[in-house]
Amino acid sequence: MKLLRNRKLLKGSGIILTEDMSPARYNLYQKAVQKWGKQKTWFYNGEIWVKLRENKLQIKTEEDLNNMAQ
C-alpha cells in the first residue's frame, strides 16, 4: 500500500504502478475512462472514483455510470 500511495512520485519516469482489479471492476473502470477521461478517473484500494466539477464520486456499478451527468 505504501508503494501505491506514493506512485504519484513516479510521474514522468516511465514507470507505472497499478492495483490488481477483477475483470468486472477493470471493465467498469475502462467505461468510466471512456466517459470522463483518464485525468478525471482513477481507482484506489479497489474503488473507482471520478471527479466531476468539485465533487469526487465513487463508481460502484454500471448504473452509477449511467446516472451521473457529465
Q: What percent of the chain has pLDDT over 90?
A: 34
* Side-chain half-sphere CA neighbours of 27 within 13 A: 5
Query: Cα(63)–Cα(66) distance, rounded to whole angstroms?
Result: 5
pLDDT in tens, 39-70: 999 888 889 999 988 899 999 999 998 888 65
Domain ranges of the chain: 20-70
Phi first, then psi: give them for residue 48, nearest 5 degrees.
Answer: -100, 130
Let me know: does 13 contact 6? Beta carbons within 8 Å.
no
Instruction: Report the pLDDT averaged over residues 15-24.
Output: 79
> How far is the first Cα of the chain from the last one, in angstroms, to the nearest whole number?
31
- pTM higher than 0.75, yes or no? no
